[in-house]
Structure 1
Amino acid sequence: MKKLWMCLLLITTSFAAFADEGMWFLMYLKRLNEADMQKKGLRLSAEEIYSINNSSLKDAIVQFNGGCTAEIVSDQGLVFTNHHCGYGAIAELSTPENDHLTNGFWAKTKSEELKPKSLSVRFFVRMDDVSKRILGLVNNKMTEDERNKIIAAEIAKIQKENSENGKYVVEVKSFYQGNEYYYFVYQDYNDVRLVGTPPNSIGKFGGDTDNWEWPRHTGDFSIFRVYADKNGNPAEYAQDNVPLKPKHFLPVSLKGVQEGDFAMILGYPGRTNRWMPSGGINQNVKFAYPAWVEASKTGMDAMKKFMDQDQAVKLNYASKYSQVANYWKNRQGMIDALTLHKTAASKAKDEVKFDKWANQAANKAEYGDVIKTINAFYSATNEKAKHDNYLMGMIRSSAIATLPYSIGSGLEVYAAGDEARRKDILPRLKSAIDAGYEKNVYAFRRAGINR
């Protein structure tokens, strides 16, 4: 679930340093968080952070290419994001002769900016709570399949009602294990061009060794620009598109940060596993994450062997290698931290307290076996979690492994369509096949590499 969240991370004073953290829905800031945040130094109102009627901070914080956070910093659609977030686009635009990933790139004029084949920026428009609407249609007497079918049908209705005939992308997501539902409305811009990037020696300084460590000393940034049609609407790439005039952009300050300043993060993605029970934590530490780490390392070693032999292969696999390495380092760090802090044991103590409450006469019928049942599920699926993470780890490391599945899905849609539908799909299907196999097979053949 990749939503826009407010995360308050760090507040300092001259007397003491302390942290107050959480993940908060923007639509509830006024009611739940504004007063407390302002006491701690926030100078903005909740309306200035999230508004559906006026420009606000959320209009300058965008989702970059489906995952990362980025910021609009000018009235000319200029976007700042991390170097590792722009990594795939930079690698795609690079060749052995013009290796922007290794050497860096700076467009001196807008006409020199580079357009990758596929890159998007998503703006958050609004959100709302539809929990009562969806949950009012289901009950505990239904089977899981019946329940899921009804919920899926209602979600489709909500998405259609709020898309304004395709103008917006609407996602409905469940929270708290299906106890609440919210819809999120977005607008996507697909003409996004590279403006500048430091060389890899700066943007990825420290490499995987320093990744997920603090402090870091890398120049982890890259710069892009969002383009639109002359009316400011999303448009596919065209030479006469113009830089987007955003509803809001972040002013850049050169004053620096002072002790006692209020600090917060607004960004993507928004998800947490903090409510996972002890059985789930044990499963991750002892089964799932070790399998993920081993599979990732195996895939990385295989990629690096061929990447080191040919620069074209290195550029083709640079983004995938970086993604796999990112999670490899993250999961090993999670194993180390969760083990060091004995998080599962701490959770188990809390579960004992919950069990005492759950087994009181008034609660026993509904909650008495909750902890026991949940942790029994994790025990029963430990080996499956190990297997699944080995498998997914290897698939993540191989671009060609997923091609038959993705192309097969497209062929199924093509076969099921009428003549007009097939005529529309065929060029895109051919393009996907050509691009997939050219990028992931031809480069190896050109380099004379036999796998």
Structure 2
Amino acid sequence: MNQIIRVINKQMELQMNKRKSYQIVLAIFFTFLFLAGCSTTKDYVYEKQPGFENVKAGTFDNGKMWTFDFPPVKYFESQYNFSPSDEWFENARLAALRLPGCSASFVSEDGLVMTNHHCVRGALDQVNREGENLPENGFFAKTLEEERKVPNLYIDQLVLIEDVTDQIKSAFESGKTDEEKVQKRQDKIRELEREYSKKTGLICNVVTFFNGGKYSMYGYKRYTDVRLVFAPETQIAYYGGDYDNFTYPRYDLDVAFYRVYDENGKPLKTKNYFKWNKDGVKEGDLIFVIGNPGRTNRLYTVSQLYFYRDYVYPYQLTLLKGLVDIYSDYLKKHPDQKLKYQSMLFGFSNSLKAFTGYHNGLKDPYLMAKKIDFEQNFRNTINSNPELKNKYGKIWDELAEFQKEKAKYFYKVNALNIRGRGGRSLYFQMAADLIDFAEQMKLPDEKRGPRFKDSVLANTKEKFFPKEINREIQLAILMLQLKDMKNAFGSELKALNDLLSGLAPDEAAVELDNKTIVLNEEEVKKLLDNPDDILKSQDPFIKFVLETKKYGETLTQKSQEIQQKEQAKVQLLGNALFDVYGTSIPPDATFTLRISDGVVKGYEYNGTIAPPFTTFYGMYDRYFSFAGYQDWDLPERWKNPPAEFDLSTPINFVSTADIIGGNSGSPLVNKNLEVVGLAFDGNIESLPGNFIFDDTKNRTVAVHTAGMNEALQDIYGATRIVNELLNGKIVE
């Protein structure tokens, strides 16, 4: 807990320093009180706060995540005197790749793929063999034969882009009600995806741009034989740990390499790859980040952003803080379990820091003044045109009302959402699964779901109970979940009162853990053999789920009805946005391929200046300055580097390119489409980039190609990888 407090205090200090740079004394802009069972709504005032009346929207507040559908050729020419050809964009698109949750790229004609170490953590666990600890010790395949295939991993390459806007908009407009419009749009999207997949043999998805102003069909070629080639130790890839995460200066070797193999089990031959520039970049150089940014909300209305500020982010932060505490405390007690749970903790810690930054950004009156100014200008443009005003003039007020309606159900719907990873215990999930099983067994075979038909029922029952349950962690998550329920309902839900039996959530969790049978494999098997007994069970979790099921479904239905109406208005807002601005501003990120431009540049922070580059000297300075601190310890092979290892080599650098989660693993390339770096993070000032981009301090943090070369060659002896990178192909 003390570590979490230190991180939060550090983050608050950074935010205060950030605010000082505006040279404005901030008034109290926002206070949030997480009330138990709160169902009151807020009447928002869409005006700039005192002292911020003259703040104006910036040219690139909506970012620079340009699509390959309509790349900003004229902007590149005017800004950088650079006019890339259609062939340039095609080569860039086909060399770029997408992993589950991350980005990547081909960096040799023999299918070598570059991405981040933190994008391969799951793969390291999967290919780890008995007696090994690859996350701690790293992995290097000295030969092709030693490269290890990662089960169930795939890599996607975007090979098809087609505009399908007219078909989807026509389907939407054919609906008579908001709900019908949304349904018809979804039906048309599914129809087109099936049609294109059948026609092309590709993985086809419709991508929504500008909240529905434009739609494109993206077709992906999927590679399924993916093998791990190299990954350094987690300690050096995540150097500085959670303290340094989302900060700069940084000293991380956050790089890893896969290789794609063809259907014959040979390294894939591809003509589309990024060549390697061993010298990297210098200050002021133009760079492009080509990757798949996950999601942004930059085109949300101010009322939608307020809903995130006051409801969504505070709720998520409460759960994430609880999960970080749970897994941190567990690993302190059980350090031998680090290999199994460290990645989980990294994920929750990373999300906590990110969502804290998003939330802080929405509480920043300077940034919100810019959003308000953009919205006012947009509305004024609409209202000054009678035709546009008639079509779109009421959208903002209607969306504001929907936020108030959503708020009435938000906490309760989430509290009764008992499935999922984040803050949801197995106790409730197992109870719900048992009830589903019993209800399915009441149906004739032909009406049951696929998993419950007689032909596969034995297999379903065999796999019903989890292979492994960590009771200690599950009990801690149950405590967190019961607190969430108590916050949402107070004393108004009888089923919850019965479950708690007058005890505080933590005490009740211990009592319930002692009473329940849902995590007892033998008892669960008995219930599966006698499904009628499930619905008559007196188990406290089964009773609770049964008693709240209809109520929860009713709440969810009401919430979904509001969201459907909101989606219909968001579609109209997208049309309005495109009618006014066209492609002069980029659409929100959708975890699809984008190209972002920027220059290598440091920035002012904390009363000083952050350099554009860091070197290995700085990494060793951290090691000696924080002697005894685990986060800045070095792997053994790094503690005494060979004489030829050049400490002055750049390891990380920053640029003004626009990225967000999902861009991890994106290559940074120069005008010649040569790799000069590898994106792995943003600085703390970049976190509000979820809803606004400000290149004054927003920075992409990347691994430098020179630093990768130096480490691969002199620390790891990975000469075959270095030779392949420099030559663009396998060197025998």
TM-score, normalised relative to structure 2:
0.49
Percent identity (aligned): 25
- Work out whether residues 159 and 170 of structure 1, in 8 Å CA contact, stay in contact via their aligned partners in 2: yes
**What letter is aligned with 1:171?**
N
1:14 maps to: none
Q: 2:97 aligns with which of 50, 62, 69?
A: 62
In 1: Cα distance, 2:368 partner to 2:239 partner: 34
Distance 1:358 1:41 in 2: 32
Look up the match of 2:491: none
Native 8 Å contact 1:61 1:123 kept in 2: yes
Of the candidates 212, 218, 233, which is equivalent to residue 184 of structure 1?
Answer: 218
Residue 322 of structure 1, CA deviation: 2.1
Q: Which residue of 1 aligns with 2:317?
A: 293
Deviations 1:155-188 (A, max 9, x none): 2332233224673100013232333221110011
Where 1:182 maps in the other structure, the secondary structure is strand
Structure 2 CA distance for aligned equivalents of residues 221 and 324 of structure 1: 21
Counterpart CA distance in 2 for 1:49 and 1:389 is 47
Contact map agreement 1:100 1:199 (CA 8 A) in 2: yes
**Contact residue 68 and residue 268 of structure 1 kept, 8 A:** yes
Q: Does 1:261 align with 2:303?
A: no
Q: Is the 8 A contact 1:312 1:443 kept in 2?
A: no
- Number of aligned pairs? 404
Q: In the alignment, residue 285 of structure 2 is paired with which amino acid?
A: D
Alignment of 1:340-419 (within 5 A): 340-356=364-380, 358=382, 362=386, 364-382=389-407, 384-385=409-410, 395-397=421-423, 412-415=449-452
Q: Are 1:299 and 1:397, in contact at CA under 8 Å, matched by a contact in 2?
A: yes
Contact 1:227 1:243 in 2 (8 A): yes
* Corresponding residue for residue 202 of structure 1: 236
Check conservation: 1:299, 1:393, Cα contact below 8 A.
Answer: no
* Matched residue type, 1:119: L
Matches of 1:305 and 1:165, distance apart in 2: 53
Q: Report the counterpart of residue 139 of structure 2 in structure 1.
A: 105
- How many Å separate the matches in 2 of 1:298 and 1:394? 15
Instruction: Report the Cα offset of residue 68 of structure 1.
Output: 0.6
Aligned 1:246-257 pairs, distance under 5 A: 246-257=270-281
What TM-score does the superposition give when structure 1 sets the normalisation length?
Answer: 0.77
Q: RCO (CA 8 Å, sep 6+): is it higher in 1 or 2?
A: 2
Does the C-alpha gap of structure 1 residues 271 and 360 become closer, same or farther in structure 2, counting only changes over 3 Å?
same
**Closer, same or farther: CA 249–346 of 1 in aligned 2, 3 Å:** closer
Cα deviation for residue 257 of structure 1 reads 0.7
- 325, 330, 350: which one pairs with 1:306? 330
The aligned counterpart of 1:117 is 151
Secondary structure, aligned partner of 1:248? coil
Q: Which amino acid aligns with 1:261?
A: D
| Equivalent position of 1:273 in the other structure | 297
Who is 1:34 aligned against? 73
Counterparts of residues 434-449 of structure 1 (less than 5 Å): 437-438=466-467, 440-441=469-470
- 1:263 shift after superposition: 1.0
Tell me, in whole angstroms, the C-alpha distance in 2 between the residues paired with 1:50 and 1:80.
Answer: 19
Cα distance in 2, alignment partners of residues 267 and 216 from structure 1: 21
Q: Which structure has the bigger radius of gyration?
A: 2
Whichever residue aligns with residue 275 of structure 1, its letter is: L
Find the counterpart in structure 1 of residue 443 from structure 2: none
Q: Contact 2:326 / 2:473 at 8 angstroms: preserved in 1?
A: no
Q: Secondary structure in 2 aligned to 1:153?
A: helix
Counterpart check, 1:24 vs 2:45: no
Corresponding residue for residue 597 of structure 2: none
1:45 to 70, 79, 84: 84
Letter in 1 for 2:451: Y
Deviation of 1:273 (Å): 1.1
Once the two structures are superposed, what CA deviation does each residue of 1:111-147 show, in whole Å capped at 9, x if it has no partner? 2222333211111111111111122234265123433
Conserved 8 A contact 2:112-2:260: yes
For 1:412, the aligned partner's letter is G
Alignment equivalent of 1:324, drawn from 323, 337, 348: 348
Unmatched segments (≥5 aa) in structure 1: 1-17, 231-240
Residue 564 of structure 2: aligned partner = none
Question: 2:53 — aligned with what?
Answer: none
Following the alignment from structure 1 to structure 2, what is the Cα–Cα distance between the partners of residues 227 and 399? 39
SS in 1 for 2:327: helix
Alignment RMSD = 3.7
Structure 1, 398-407 or 353-362: larger mean CA deviation: 398-407
- Name whichever of 98-107 and 374-383 sits farther off: 374-383
Give how far 1:63 is off: 0.5
Give the secondary structure class of the aligned counterpart of 2:273: coil
Aligned-pair distance for 1:26? 0.5
Q: CA deviation at 1:208?
A: 1.7
Q: 2: CA distance between counterparts of 1:313 and 1:227? A: 34
Shift of 1:393: 11
- The answer to whether the Cα contact below 8 Å between 2:172 and 2:182 also exists between their aligned partners in 1 is no
- The answer to whether the 8 Å contact 2:136/2:234 transfers is yes
Q: State the distance in 1 between where 2:427 and 2:178 align.
A: 32
Match of 1:130 in 2: 164
Identify if the C-alpha distance between structure 1 residues 359 and 71 changes in structure 2 by more than 3 Å, giving closer, same or farther. Answer: closer
Task: Label 1:355 to 1:77 Cα distance change in 2 as closer, same or farther (>3 A).
Answer: closer
The alpha-carbon distance between structure 1 residues 358 and 252, as it changes in their structure 2 partners (threshold 3 A), is closer
Q: Which deviates the most, 327-336 or 399-408? A: 399-408
